[in-house]
Structure formats: C-alpha cells, structure tokens
Amino acid sequence: MVSVIWDKRAFPIYFKLLPKLGSSNIDEQQKILSQVMPIFQNYKICVLGDRELAFE
C-alpha cells in the first residue's frame, strides 16, 4: 500500500492484493512504488516501512 501523509493522517492512494500469504518481496514493493512515483516527481519523497519492508 502507498499512502500520502497529510497533517498527521495517512491517506491510501494505491494498493495491490497479492496472491499469497506473508510479506511482499523487494520486486513486488518496487513495482507498487513505480506506479505512483511519476505522480510525485516534483515533491520530496520519504519512504516509511515496517519491519517487513525489504531492502537490497
């Protein structure tokens, strides 16, 4: 899920249901982020994630 934070609130703007249980992997996360990144190309972006966020 991708959300926009505004005034201490998070508004979901994009999500995808995955056909599996458990955490998403880095490829799935990058595909989701690539869907919304063009919308915010002129803004500062901060990616926040929980303990299941994958990093390379």
pLDDT given at position 22: 82
What number of CA atoms fall less than 13 Å from residue 26's CA on the CB side?
Answer: 3
pLDDT given at position 55: 61
Q: Would the pTM count as exceeding 0.85?
A: no
Q: 1-56: per-residue pLDDT in tens?
A: 899 999 999 999 999 998 998 888 889 989 999 999 999 889 888 888 777 666 65
Q: Are 54 and 25 in contact (CB under 8 A)?
A: yes
pLDDT given at position 54: 63
